[in-house]
Structure 1
Amino acid sequence: MITAQPPDGTTTLRLARASDLRRHQRVPVALLGRYMLADRREYPCQTVDMSPGGVRLTCAVVGAIGERVVLYLEHIGRIEGVVVRHPTGGFAVQLAATPRKRDKIASQLTWLANREMLGLPEGRAHERVVPKQPAVVVRLESGREIQARVIDISMSGVALTSVTTPPIGATVTIGRTPGKLVRYFEGGFGVQFLLPLSPDRFHDGMTL
């Protein structure tokens, strides 16, 4: 959010603009994702803040300064860069992107910042697929199993339909993928994965 101070002393608000963000203004934003270091192993992460030129992550496994890293972030997609510093709880990445890609990131960050400012619903901005094999077993913490069908899947969650609906906040396992029931909608319910799916698993032939 950007503030301006007019002559009368009152504070007005204006929406973040992509042109502002192209000058590498950092936006506080919490996006789930995964990253791959030089050892080619993947780890989950979450962003702390981001600009078209860099991103700060919170994560468990820290890359070395100068190490190449490949990121996949919800809403943003695949990006690459190098580790440049080690803030508490994670690391910061300087992005290697073309001017066109930086403009795209700026526009995406502008949308995210304005959505937060205006209190807009999250919606379904990230890609979703419909699996070829929609039948799935939902396992509750009690060990009880529910037969369900997948409506669609994103890297961060899944929409399901079933005769039995667990309560909001319930921790469930969809196939082998753990998650939490976060919402109801007409004809089904939504589960957010505890960790986002790996990009190489995300396709219409995937199984959870």
Structure 2
Amino acid sequence: MPEVLERPTIALHGIATVAGRYVIGAQQTHPGVNLFACRLRMIGSDTLRATAPVIPQRGELVTASFNSFGALTGRVSRQFDDGFELSLEQSEDERERLNARITSFSEKLWTTETDRRVAQRVMPSNPRTVIARPDNWSQPCLIVDYSISGAAVSAAFQPEVGEIVTVGRVTGEVVRLFDFGFAVRFFEPQDAEHLEGLLEAPDEWRDVMRRTFQAV
């Protein structure tokens, strides 16, 4: 009987610095409908996990794109209260190329200095939060990055420029739209030391979302 060679498995866990975007389904992409931003949490030879504003159904086709790893397509294998896991669909050659990219990225984590030019904008450690309108309407969203003056946000809707919204507990005005979300300018510059805490969803809202997800 010929020897069966086991395919090498490579994985990176606890990634907090890789932002990307994802498309649910194979139809034309529409911002706020099936195109959203996401944050990579884990990537391996055959799977990835992302934090996301909209959680696809199990078995749904998703294509996630990250600058360091390219476009990766798969089916949703698990759902979490803050995102999802993809089981990747790829050929053996694609798997080997992904392994090489994961290895290269892992090496850069230990050798690359922080780019000081982007130090003013911050990626929050817990990017999934809530966005609300003055009429008490609210839904989950994902903060792509933020500064003391505003935030880039992705959610399951595209507001109008000039619309007033509250991200976490900070209120501002929508000033720009882009392909996977929109930019909010805060009404007042915020204290950098406390801003990340203010952008987090209130505890009572997170408790409701967690109970809702567990009941599904």
What is the TM-score normalised by the length of structure 2? 0.46
With a CA cutoff of 8 Å and minimum separation of 6, indicate the structure with the bigger relative contact order. 2
Query: Which of the two has higher C-alpha Rg?
Result: 1
Structure 1 or 2: more helix by fraction: 2
